[in-house]
């Protein structure tokens, strides 16, 4: 009989139990080995290899350009670093919409080639078939409703979603559907706090918010934003826990000055 290694990671079952006992779930994005090692070591519950890598790692204006190969590359580094956190990998735009066979193929590639623990994709009823197909392969799926950045050209802006009754109603129905078909969790992005509270109270699966208020089961932020690496991005929902842009600029300026003045390296720093 083969030996199975014990899973010591955060699991979907543990996340469910956290919701049930009222323990909030902490989630951050990560796109590389070094950062993931720090975040995992600091006790984060969930790491999201977000398609926001398209913005913060590659400098694109939107999340649309990132490819399956690129997200897998980012996820591989994150997975290598992780000892405890559950790693969710975003399915890139174009890798799952409108074709459930392709969605399944994309999700299998992500799981096989990156070693991630689950996938996340954007949308509700429109992507139902893709989600059901992915779930048949035993791959945990996380939903994402509200502001869904892969649809930015449909929305036209990054402002708060579901403020109007009709959109709020559709979001509620989509959230119920995602739970019903088997998603293990749901991200709600930039929607009114009262609506997010209603969803989190009604659903039994964990609901993680970004700009969705305090009455959800956990919070997610883009790590570059919460560490202050991105300087200009200052939405109301973002709390900066450090000012790394300033700290790094100062450190690099210091290094440049030391090299120019021959202060670095000293005799002791040579061989």
Closest by CA to 239, choosing from 200, 198, 204, 210, is 210
119 and 95 in contact (C-beta within 8 Å)? no
Annotation marks residue 189 as catalytic: yes
Segment near ligand KIV (CB under 6 A); pick from 49-57, 150-158, 174-182, 241-249: 49-57
Binding residue for ligand KIV, selected from 40, 51, 217, 225, defined by CB under 6 A: 51
Is 220 a residue that touches ligand KIV (CB under 6 A)?
A: yes
Is 75 a residue that touches ligand KIV (CB under 6 A)?
A: no
- Which residues inside 86-115 make contact with ligand KIV, applying CB under 6 A? 90
Binding residue for ligand KIV, selected from 40, 45, 174, 189, defined by CB under 6 A: 189
CB-facing half-sphere around the CA of 93: CA atoms within 13 A: 15
Segment near ligand KIV (CB under 6 A); pick from 45-53, 92-100, 155-163, 170-178: 45-53
Binding residue ranges for 3-methyl-2-oxobutanoate: 51-52, 90, 120
> Both tokens of residue 92?
């890139």
Closest by CA to 224, choosing from 38, 97, 81, 87, is 38
Binding residue for ligand KIV, selected from 12, 26, 29, 219, defined by CB under 6 A: 29
Is 217 a residue that touches ligand KIV (CB under 6 A)?
A: no
Closest by CA to 121, choosing from 112, 113, 133, is 133
> Both tokens of residue 57?
């790692």
72 and 109 in contact (C-beta within 8 Å)? yes
As measured in angstroms, the least distance from the Cβ of 95 to ligand KIV is 14
200 class by beta-carbon count within 10 Å (0-12 exposed, 13-18 middle, 19+ buried): buried
9 or 238: whose CB is closer to ligand KIV? 238
What is the contact surface with ligand KIV in residues (CB under 6 A)? 29, 48, 50-52, 90, 187, 189, 210, 220, 222
């Amino acid at each position: 009989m083969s030996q199975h290694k014990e899973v010591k990671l955060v699991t979907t079952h543990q996340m469910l139990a956290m919701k049930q006992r009222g323990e909030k779930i902490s989630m951050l994005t990560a796109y590389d080995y070094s950062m993931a090692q720090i975040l995992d070591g600091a006790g984060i519950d969930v790491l999201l290899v977000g398609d926001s890598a398209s913005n913060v790692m590659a400098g694109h204006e939107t999340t649309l350009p990132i490819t399956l190969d690129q997200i897998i590359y980012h996820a591989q580094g994150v997975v290598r670093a992780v000892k405890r956190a559950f790693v969710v990998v975003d399915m890139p735009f174009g890798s799952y919409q409108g074709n459930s066979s392709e969605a399944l193929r994309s999700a299998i590639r992500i799981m096989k080639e990156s070693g991630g623990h689950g996938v996340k994709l954007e949308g509700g009823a429109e992507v139902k078939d893709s989600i059901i197909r992915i779930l048949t392969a035993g791959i945990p799926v996380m939903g994402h409703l509200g502001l869904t950045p892969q649809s930015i050209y449909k929305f036209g802006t990054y402002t708060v979603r579901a403020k109007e009754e009709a959109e709020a109603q559709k979001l509620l129905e989509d959230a119920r559907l995602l739970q019903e078909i088997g998603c293990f969790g749901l991200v709600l992005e930039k929607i009114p706090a009262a609506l997010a509270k209603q969803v989190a109270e009604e659903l039994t699966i964990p609901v993680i918010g970004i700009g969705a208020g305090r009455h959800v089961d956990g919070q997610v932020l883009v790590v570059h934003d919460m560490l202050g690496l991105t300087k200009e991005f200052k939405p109301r929902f973002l709390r900066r826990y450090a000012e790394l842009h300033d700290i790094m600029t100062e450190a690099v300026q210091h290094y440049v000055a030391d090299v120019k003045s021959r202060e670095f390296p000293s005799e002791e720093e040579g061989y």
